[in-house]
Amino acid sequence: MKVIIVGAGIIGALTAFRLAERGAEVTVIDAGQPAGAASGASFGWINASFHADQDHFNLRLAAIAAHRRLAAELKSDAIRWPGCLCWEAQGDALDEQHKTLKSLGYAVSEVSEKEFSALEPEVSPPQRALLFADEGAVDLTRLASEALQAGARHGVRVLAGLSVTALQETSGRITGVQTPAGVLTADRVIVAAGVATEQLLAAIGVAVPMLSRPGLIVRSEPLPPLLRHVLVSSGQELRQTPQGHLLAPTSAGHQGDSSDTVPEAPDVLASRAMARVQDMIGRPVAWEQVTLAFRPVPQDGLPVIGACGPAGLYVTVMHSGATLAPLVAELAAAEVMESALSNTQLALLSPYRPARFTG
């Protein structure tokens, strides 16, 4: 089977790898470079503690397990498991979060101020926090590259710097894509194009409405090892990369940020975020880069995964791909290759089919 994937972000890259493993002839097309858009500007937090409902929790929890499978298979250290310390909620709200996650069977425990200081001696401690021991962090640029390299050993090809201007439809079936360099044909087309998904599908009458959700990630100068966990406070999310850089969203409440525009100049927002980071770690720190990307958030905030529109078309778009991509790649590859999914797998995908937007 010949498959074209539109988009070489983390979802497109991992799906290409999984399809090629199953024997598909895969071409990935991207207007930029692999992981050059939202994936390359991700905070990279792997978690199920941040979820919309029970179904969303189940999907994210299954995705954490898929990350572990992928890391073992690729022998990758782009995925790490530092755990997360979270004190975004306080008082009764923290108790309720703890109770809810415990009831879902999640690995969560409460830590005191003294215990927090033992876990993170360089951070100003809150009175209480929650420890999510099984959560991780991922370098999506590196993971996408590793997946495409592994896929290349199975024949995956990448066309970078080439935009897809339209989907090619013939006799009620998607048969390829149109580009400025001409038409490329395929038996199946997967749209994993992030924020470009809505416009590309609308042209063939398929509705996948998207929100405008710009996100800025600021990176500090390299520092000695300071942080051991992903940190999530009410005012700032923060983690340290293996290279020593601190990564932080410029939005104080990144996970719940519903801003549809960038409110101020990026350098101002970056400096403000670094000031909050300085308060957390009690030492001066300068930022060296701030990156803007538009997060691919469907209208209802939930993933969109599945066949849609004319035969031969499949779509995968979501936030957060950092958590969900390995699982979505496994399941999408199986469906596109017409392999039967288990009842458990079908249940994971059921709430997120594109048909929910067709009325």
Candidates 16, 232, 28, 42; CA nearest to 142 is: 42
- Digitized pLDDT (tens) for each residue of the chain, 359 residues in all: 999 999 999 999 999 999 999 999 999 999 999 988 888 889 999 999 999 999 999 999 999 999 999 999 999 999 999 999 999 999 999 999 999 999 999 999 999 999 999 999 999 999 999 999 999 999 999 999 999 999 999 999 999 999 999 999 999 999 999 999 999 999 999 999 999 999 999 999 999 999 989 989 999 999 999 999 999 999 999 999 999 999 999 986 656 667 778 889 999 999 999 999 999 999 999 999 999 988 999 999 999 999 999 999 999 999 999 999 999 999 999 999 999 999 999 999 999 999 999 86
Domains, the chain, with CATH or none: 2-43+141-211+299-357 (3.50.50.60), 81-135+212-295 (3.30.9.10)
How is residue 346 written in tokens?
């079908």
Compute the distance between CA of residue 335 and CA of residue 3 in angstroms, rounded to an integer: 12
Compute the distance between CA of residue 233 and CA of residue 256 in angstroms, rounded to an integer: 13
Residue 210: Cβ within 10 Å count: 21
* pTM for the structure as a whole: 0.96
**Cβ contact 332:15 at 8 Å:** yes
Angle between helical axes of 321-336 and 140-152 (0-180°, round to 10) = 20
**Cβ contact 288:219 at 8 Å:** yes
How is residue 157 written in tokens?
């090809």
Cβ density class 266-302: b for 16+ within 10 Å, e for less? eeebbeebbeebeebbeeebebeebbebbbbbbeeeb
